[in-house]
């Protein structure tokens, strides 16, 4: 009862954060050994500068997507459209920001992403279409829409506030870290301090039972897909701001897989029913660290998927109770033999 | 609406052009019915094409032995993923995602560039066709697809193995209580999936007479989409091979129809694909409404 | 936006009117418009879009009924599209191939149907080159060589280079790497210290460059990017690291898109080797000659040119893409 962590424990309920943290830790230790410049940090122009900062900054997009995706996966669904929603939000913001006020441009682009996410939710919650297909439709059509808006061109812009979003610094860290922190805290509070989290888990665990308990499962689904759309919109604005251009045909491509990977590695099962937002964020950091590690080690780009595969399977195995039991079993035998 | 669209040739083309997709979808149906998923099929297809090309072209092997080796590797690869999933109780999504990266990397290890296959056997295969009257002819790839599809129907719907898969996907604990051999069924399903992906790769080399390490990117999504369009539930236990055939043909027809039209630009093409998918899906939902309500 | 919409409406109206006039006149039977199928790779970059626009515009100009297909980067889709063109009995087919191999079966089908095929922007490997009429393309290897030569001159034959590769396995990435490596092999003091893939994306170029600058710091004296987008991303990373792109780090790339010229004018990019996507006029000349049965050269190499900061200002206004 005197557990000092008792107060924060409910925030991570049902999911062990130990293994993704261990995976990330091992990867960092590996880097410390093999690339000395990895942990080098210095203050440059009044803010921190170094590889670790890059990981936080570049990883912010997948972290945001993973936060939204966690809630979707908690209800037993999946959202493939996030990459395309990033493209839509980025394109709209880049086109509007030079014409109307920055706040309006952000509001409209995020609003559109949320509306698109809501459409996913309506198809899934009310029309009863399987999530993977409903969101696949938007993944394909959304990309087309974003490209239609920009005419397939890369839209560049010069706008200090918009550029600050993805490149600026706050408290010595990239501003994107602040954005992720705000979204994460808001989501944590909304899901763990209200009944919403419970609704999500009950819908993911047993939708029928949840409905009998009086939970409007369809509405819950609409809400999570809308929220995932919003998170994707924010990620799209960051990605666009980061390169000071809206690259509607390429931005966010394949990022849905990274986001799902981050969520699952973070301990949220794809079958739904329980979730860990913090785990997902750690999972996203794991991916970004892996990517940067590959650049640092000079792994040939063509074969870089191989180490990625090994890390994925290794993290999986570490999380498996059966695998750990087997390893311990081997050690036990050896001890007896000795 | 489109002159010549419903000619016999277009229909046979539909089977020939979507043979790789169809073959992978037949086995993916089994995987999804068992409650799993296999993301590695696209990379495995790419790996197989370049493996076969290198074995035939650079090592001078007979295409049939090269294909046999590729099918063997695919099966072992799938079985190993199945083993990991079963033995250590790992999520199929992550294990096969690992498999996806591994196969793609290995494809590039074999060769970074695409490689054409110049071989008498391949020319023979490319020209092979069973005439069906008129201009229509059943090509080798279409024939392989149809044979595998027939085999898929038998295995899925008329064997104890097929029933075990349904039981497993319906509820794993109940299946265990019923005495379904969980482990061997799961491993066999993923082994079959690896085999199917490799066969799809082999068929793809017939289609293009070449191997390419980059091919098959995003193929797994097309396959999964075709299966799900066909009415198979991603949660497992519900679905049919016939539905999957319909899914593959719908997916193929959407592309063919838009290619046939040829007036859309790149952007409207994507929007149209999404729109047509939506219409088909809503239509399918409408048709299966009653059965879904009783679920 | 609005204006261009009205103009396009007007041009559509004009096209319809002219079509009606031609169709109504006795000339119609003779001047039946050609139907040409164009199988494009996709719409993955501004360069690609410029190529598509060039071919579409030329088709409209010559009153050709153009059937367009976007393969979304997949060869299977492209083969399907070509087959579909053959089934429809088009008069000619233009292909911008996704990859170099795998074309033999479908081209043999086209040959049997006596439909001439014109290849644009990259070559293919076939055992029988009578399968296509002609190829109109840039030479990616020589683009890499030109970039290497220009860089060698600029840095007095001494540099530590970061190479930003395109998507692994893509023909331009493979050939631009080959050409560049061959180009610098003459100069022992020019070394590639790191070579990573930025996937032809702006964001990829930036991310890779950020990481490599942390690792190598001031050691990096030059950047060679396989396309302009990655170079533009890398430029941002160099600036954020507190260095001046164009002076502290020499940046060379390939393609010659408008953004690259703007960067050269502002002194941040040193050189871009143009890879011209405006192949429409040449492609349709070839199509018309092929249909008439004239003999065409098997390969027409589009002359590429290296532009640097001294020439950028003069040509920037005339850049269409």
pLDDT (0 to 100) of residue A326: 87
pLDDT (0 to 100) of residue C13: 44
What residues 20-79 of chain B have any CB closer than 8 A to a CB of chain A? none
Domain that holds residue B158: 8-228+237-262
CATH 3.40.50.2300 for domain C140-275, yes or no, is yes
- Cβ of B274 within 8 Å of Cβ of A148? The answer is no
Structure tokens belonging to residue C268: 């941040």
- Cβ of A313 within 8 Å of Cβ of B234? The answer is no
| Residues C45 and C51 sit within 8 Å (Cβ to Cβ) | no
Q: Is B128 part of any domain? A: yes
Tell whether the model's pLDDT for residue C27 goes beyond 70.
Answer: no
Rounded Cα gap, residues A113 and A105, in angstroms: 12
- Cβ of A249 within 8 Å of Cβ of C44? The answer is yes
CB atoms within 10 A of CB B75: 21
Range in A154-158, B26-30, C19-23, C171-175 with the lowest mean pLDDT: C19-23
**In chain B, whose CA is at the least distance from the CA of A144?**
B267
Rounded Cα gap, residues C187 and C151, in angstroms: 11
Tell whether the model's pLDDT for residue A283 goes beyond 90.
Answer: yes
- The candidate with the shortest Cα–Cα distance to A231, out of A93, A81, A75, A122, is A81
Tell whether the model's pLDDT for residue B59 goes beyond 60.
Answer: yes
Q: How far is CA C110 from CA B276, C73, C132, in A?
A: 30, 22, 9
pLDDT band, very low/low/confident/very high, at A317 (cuts 50, 70, 90):
confident
| Residues A69 and A280 sit within 8 Å (Cβ to Cβ) | yes
CB atoms within 10 A of CB A148: 17
B/e letters for A305-332, b = 16+ CB within 10 Å, e = fewer, are: bbbbbebbbebbbbbbeebeeeeeeeee
pLDDT in tens, B218-229: 899 999 999 998
Mutate to test the interface with C, among A237, A295, A296 (most CBs of C within 10 A): A295
- Tell me whether A176 touches chain C (CB under 8 Å): no
Q: E strands within C14-133?
A: 35-40, 65-70, 92-95, 117-120
Q: Is B3 part of any domain? A: no
pLDDT in tens, C308-321: 998 888 888 878 77
Q: How far apart are the first and last CA of chain B?
A: 39
What's domain C31-137+277-302's superfamily in CATH? Response regulator (3.40.50.2300)
pLDDT (0 to 100) of residue B274: 92
CATH 3.40.50.2300 segments of chain C: 31-137+277-302, 140-275
pLDDT in tens, B106-127: 999 999 999 999 888 988 887 7
- Cβ of B270 within 8 Å of Cβ of C72? The answer is yes
CATH (domain of B124): 1.10.3470
| Residues A300 and A85 sit within 8 Å (Cβ to Cβ) | no
pLDDT (0 to 100) of residue C2: 43
CA C152 to chain CA mean position, Å = 25
- Tell me whether A35 touches chain C (CB under 8 Å): yes
Rounded Cα gap, residues C313 and A57, in angstroms: 35
Mutate to test the interface with B, among C40, C102, C129 (most CBs of B within 10 A): C102
- Cβ of A51 within 8 Å of Cβ of C211? The answer is yes
pLDDT (0 to 100) of residue C195: 95
The per-residue DSSP string of A152-217 comes to TPEEE---HHHHHHHH-EETTEEHHHHHHHHHHHHHHHHHHSSTHHHHHHHHHH-HHHHHHTT--H
- Cβ of A40 within 8 Å of Cβ of C201? The answer is no
ipTM for the predicted complex? 0.88
Rounded Cα gap, residues C186 and B206, in angstroms: 43
Residue C159 parent element (H or E): strand C159-165
Rounded Cα gap, residues A107 and A101, in angstroms: 10
pLDDT (0 to 100) of residue C21: 40
pLDDT in tens, C161-194: 999 999 998 889 999 999 999 999 999 999 999 9
Q: How many domains does chain B have?
A: 1
- Least Cα separation, residue A61 to chain C (angstroms): 12
Taking the domains of chain A in order of start, what are their residue ranges?
A: 58-298, 305-338
pLDDT in tens, B196-206: 999 999 999 99
Chains contacting chain A through 3 or more C-beta pairs under 8 A: B, C
């Amino acid at each position: 009862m005197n557990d000092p962590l008792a107060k924060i424990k409910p925030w991570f309920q049902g999911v062990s954060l130990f293994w993704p943290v261990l995976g990330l830790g091992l990867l960092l230790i590996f880097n410390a050994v093999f690339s000395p410049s990895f942990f080098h940090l210095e203050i440059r122009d009044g803010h921190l500068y170094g590889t670790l900062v890059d990981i936080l900054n570049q990883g912010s997009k997948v972290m945001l997507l993973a936060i939204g995706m966690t809630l979707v996966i908690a209800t037993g669904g999946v959202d493939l459209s996030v990459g395309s929603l990033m493209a839509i939000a980025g394109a709209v913001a880049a086109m509007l920001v030079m014409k109307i006020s920055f706040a309006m441009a952000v509001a409209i682009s995020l609003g559109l992403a949320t509306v698109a996410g809501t459409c996913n939710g309506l198809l899934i919650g009310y029309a009863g279409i399987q999530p993977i297909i409903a969101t696949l439709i938007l993944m394909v059509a959304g990309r087309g829409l974003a490209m239609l808006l920009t005419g397939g061109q890369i839209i560049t812009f010069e706008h200090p506030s918009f550029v600050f979003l993805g490149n600026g610094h706050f408290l010595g860290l990239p501003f994107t870290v602040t954005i992720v922190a705000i979204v994460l805290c808001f989501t944590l509070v909304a899901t763990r301090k209200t009944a919403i989290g419970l609704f999500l888990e009950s819908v993911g665990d047993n939708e029928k039972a949840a409905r009998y308990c009086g939970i409007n499962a369809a509405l819950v689904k609409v809400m999570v897909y809308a929220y995932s759309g919003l998170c994707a919109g924010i990620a799209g604005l960051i990605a666009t701001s980061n390169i000071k251009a809206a690259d509607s045909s390429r931005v966010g491509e394949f990022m849905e897989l990274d986001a799902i990977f981050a969520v699952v590695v973070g301990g949220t099962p794809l079958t739904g029913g329980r979730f860990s937002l913090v785990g997902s964020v750690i999972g996203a950091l794991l991916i970004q660290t892996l990517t940067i590690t590959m650049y640092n080690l000079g792994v040939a780009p063509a074969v870089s998927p191989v180490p990625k595969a090994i890390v994925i399977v290794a993290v999986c195995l570490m999380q498996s109770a059966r695998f750990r039991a087997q390893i311990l079993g081997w050690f036990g035998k050896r001890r007896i033999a000795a | 609406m489109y002159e010549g669209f419903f000619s016999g040739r277009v229909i046979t083309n539909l089977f020939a052009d979507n043979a790789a997709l169809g073959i992978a979808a037949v086995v993916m149906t089994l995987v999804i019915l068992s409650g799993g998923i296999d993301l590695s099929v696209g990379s495995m297809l790419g790996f197989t094409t370049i493996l076969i090309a290198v074995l035939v072209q650079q090592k001078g092997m007979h295409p049939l032995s090269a294909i046999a080796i590729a099918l063997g590797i695919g099966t072992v690869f799938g079985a190993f993923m199945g083993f990991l999933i079963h033995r250590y109780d790992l999520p199929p999504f992550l294990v096969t995602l690992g498999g996806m990266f591994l196969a793609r990397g290995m494809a590039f290890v074999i060769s970074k560039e695409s490689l054409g296959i110049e071989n008498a056997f391949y020319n023979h295969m490319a020209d092979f066709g069973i005439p069906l009257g008129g201009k229509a002819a059943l090509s080798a790839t279409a024939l392989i697809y149809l044979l595998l599809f027939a085999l898929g129907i038998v295995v899925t719907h008329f064997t104890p193995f097929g029933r075990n898969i349904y039981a497993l996907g319906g509820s794993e604990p109940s299946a265990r209580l019923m005495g379904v051999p969980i482990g061997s069924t799961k491993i066999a399903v993923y082994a079959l999936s690896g085999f199917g992906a490799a066969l799809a790769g082999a068929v793809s080399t017939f289609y293009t007479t070449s191997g390419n390490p980059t091919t098959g990117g995003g193929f797994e999504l097309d396959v999964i989409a075709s299966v799900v369009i066909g009415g198979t539930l991603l949660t497992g236990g519900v679905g049919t091979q016939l539905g999957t055939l319909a899914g593959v043909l719908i997916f193929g027809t959407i592309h063919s129809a838009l290619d046939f039209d040829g007036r859309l630009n790149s952007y409207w093409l994507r929007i149209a694909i999404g729109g047509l998918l939506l219409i088909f899906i809503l239509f399918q939902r409408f048709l299966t409404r009653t059965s879904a309500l009783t679920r | 936006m609005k204006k261009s919409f009205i103009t396009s409406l007007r041009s559509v109206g004009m096209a319809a009117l002219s079509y009606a006039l031609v169709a109504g006149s006795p000339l119609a039977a003779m001047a039946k418009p050609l139907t040409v199928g164009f199988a494009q790779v996709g719409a993955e970059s501004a360069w690609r879009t410029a190529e598509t626009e060039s071919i579409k515009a030329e088709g409209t100009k010559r009153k050709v009924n153009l059937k367009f297909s976007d393969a979304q980067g997949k060869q299977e889709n492209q083969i399907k599209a070509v087959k579909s063109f053959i089934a429809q009995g088009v008069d000619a087919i233009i292909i911008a191939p996704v990859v170099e191999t795998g074309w033999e079966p479908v081209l043999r089908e086209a040959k049997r149907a006596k439909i001439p095929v014109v290849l644009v922007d990259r070559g293919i490997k076939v055992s029988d080159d009578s399968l296509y009429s002609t190829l109109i393309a840039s030479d990616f290897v020589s683009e890499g060589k030109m970039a290497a030569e220009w860089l060698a001159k600029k840095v007095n034959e001494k540099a530590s280079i970061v190479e930003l590769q395109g998507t692994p396995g893509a023909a331009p990435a493979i050939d631009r790497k080959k050409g560049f490596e061959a180009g610098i092999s003459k100069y022992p003091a020019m070394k590639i210290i790191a070579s990573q893939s930025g996937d032809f994306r702006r964001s990829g170029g930036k991310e890779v460059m950020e990481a490599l600058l942390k690792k190598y710091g001031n050691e990096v004296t030059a950047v060679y990017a396989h396309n302009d987008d990655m170079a533009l991303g890398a430029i941002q990373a160099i600036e954020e690291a507190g260095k001046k792109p164009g002076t502290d780090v020499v940046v060379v790339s390939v393609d010659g898109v408008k953004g690259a010229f703007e960067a050269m004018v502002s002194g941040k990019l040193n050189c871009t080797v143009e890879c011209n996507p405006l192949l429409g006029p040449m492609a349709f000349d070839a199509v018309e000659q092929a249909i008439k049965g004239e003999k065409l050269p098997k390969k027409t190499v589009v002359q590429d040119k290296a532009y640097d900061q001294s020439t950028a200002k003069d040509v920037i206004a005339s850049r269409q893409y």
